[in-house]
């Protein structure tokens, strides 16, 4: 499932080709990914200019004229792919929406095998309300060790679940939550109010480090994720614990443990991340 580094990589890959492009025509193949009826969605986008391409948490945010935004939540398997003018090569296998661009700039394709993704149009005020419902950007200035510690103190949920809550911190999903807990040497099952200031500092550093490393590697492809250019991310080979049950801990060689917490896997080293 795409998380912050994957969304950031896609945003960077779209920025030059898409910024300033005008939508000539929208072709809806599967309307179930849209927040409204296909004809209405298409009419609202026809003639719109993509003024900027950014990200909020794990969502892509394309700013349109009139301060409107199109927010793309990639769900489990969503991709935003560029298809060049007169594109050669195999056509996308599971296109859901095409945004055909004016002036021979090709198309932007929303592609989604499982179609848990979601495209929604927001007015300026709707966007502000939605954005305010999310936690701080973990690579932004608001996300400090002190703020993180306050947030951890205010909850009794297990750390991994806390990190997945987008209202706490925006953009972290299961892969990077597990990786950050390992780097910070904290058991992902630890109740967050039990974590002291030193643990919060280690966790703060670990979250930022793992997200930056993953952005540098253009994200993690386990199966579906691709960059806007259709490439796989390269961080999967660098994962320290996620998906590595039974393999030696990179720090102490103890086998990595997999358990299930709230119906999702956690991976950790029981020696480096002692039980609380
Ligand atoms: Zn270890």
- What is the 260 CA–ligand 1 centroid distance (Å)? 19
Q: Provide the token pair at 170.
A: 């925006």
* Cα 2 to Cα 25: distance, rounded to the nearest angstrom: 27
- What is the 245 CA–ligand 1 centroid distance (Å)? 12
Tens digits of per-residue pLDDT, 133-151?
Answer: 999 999 999 999 999 999 9
In the prediction, which pLDDT does 36 show? 98
In the prediction, which pLDDT does 91 show? 83
CATH topology of domain 145-268: Helicase, Ruva Protein; domain 3 (1.10.8)
In the prediction, which pLDDT does 103 show? 92
Q: Provide the token pair at 111.
A: 């592609």
List the one residue out of 180, 159, 165, 173 whose CA is nearest residue 239: 180
In what helix (H) or strand (E) does residue 110 lie, and over which residues does it extend? strand 107-112
Where along the chain do the CATH 1.10.8.50 domains lie?
145-268
Q: Is residue 60 a contact partner of residue 71, using CB atoms and an 8 Å limit?
A: yes
* Cα 24 to Cα 100: distance, rounded to the nearest angstrom: 6
In what helix (H) or strand (E) does residue 72 lie, and over which residues does it extend? strand 69-73
Give the pTM.
0.96
Tens digits of per-residue pLDDT, 186-212?
Answer: 999 999 999 999 999 999 999 999 999
Residue 246 has pLDDT above 90, yes or no: yes
List the one residue out of 82, 70, 66 whose CA is nearest residue 119: 70
In the prediction, which pLDDT does 66 show? 83
Where along the chain do the CATH 3.20.190.10 domains lie?
4-132
Give percent of the chain above pLDDT 70.
Answer: 99
Active-site amino acid positions: 2-3, 58, 264
CATH topology of domain 4-132: N-terminal domain of MutM-like DNA repair proteins (3.20.190)
In the prediction, which pLDDT does 89 show? 72
226: confidence class by pLDDT, cuts 50, 70, 90: very high
Tens digits of per-residue pLDDT, 60-97?
Answer: 999 998 899 999 999 999 999 999 886 667 788 999 99
- What is the 274 CA–ligand 1 centroid distance (Å)? 9
């Amino acid at each position: 499932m795409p998380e912050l580094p994957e969304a950031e990589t896609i945003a960077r890959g779209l920025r030059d080709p898409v910024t300033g492009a005008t939508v000539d025509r929208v072709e809806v193949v599967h309307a179930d990914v849209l927040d409204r009826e296909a004809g209405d969605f298409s009419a609202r986008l026809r003639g719109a200019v993509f003024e900027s391409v950014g990200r909020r948490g794990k969502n892509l945010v394309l700013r349109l004229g009139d301060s409107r935004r199109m927010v793309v939540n990639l769900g489990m398997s969503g991709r935003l792919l560029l298809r060049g003018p007169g594109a050669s090569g195999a056509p996308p296998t599971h296109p859901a929406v095409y945004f055909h661009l004016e002036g021979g700039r090709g198309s932007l394709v929303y592609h989604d095998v499982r179609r848990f993704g979601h495209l929604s149009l927001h007015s300026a005020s709707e966007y502000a309300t939605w954005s305010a419902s999310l936690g701080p950007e973990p690579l932004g200035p608001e996300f400090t060790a002190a703020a993180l510690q306050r947030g951890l103190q205010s909850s009794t949920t297990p750390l991994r679940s806390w990190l997945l809550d987008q209202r706490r911190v925006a953009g972290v999903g299961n892969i990077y939550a597990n990786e950050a807990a390992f780097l910070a040497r904290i058991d992902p099952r630890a109740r967050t109010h039990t974590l002291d200031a030193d643990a919060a500092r280690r966790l703060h550093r670990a979250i930022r480090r793992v997200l930056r490393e993953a952005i540098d590697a253009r994200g993690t492809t386990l199966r579906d994720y691709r960059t806007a250019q259709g490439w796989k991310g390269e961080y999967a080979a660098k994962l320290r614990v996620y998906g590595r049950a039974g393999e030696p801990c990179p720090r102490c060689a103890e086998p990595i443990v997999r358990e299930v917490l709230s119906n999702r896997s956690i991976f950790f080293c029981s020696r480096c991340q002692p039980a609380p």
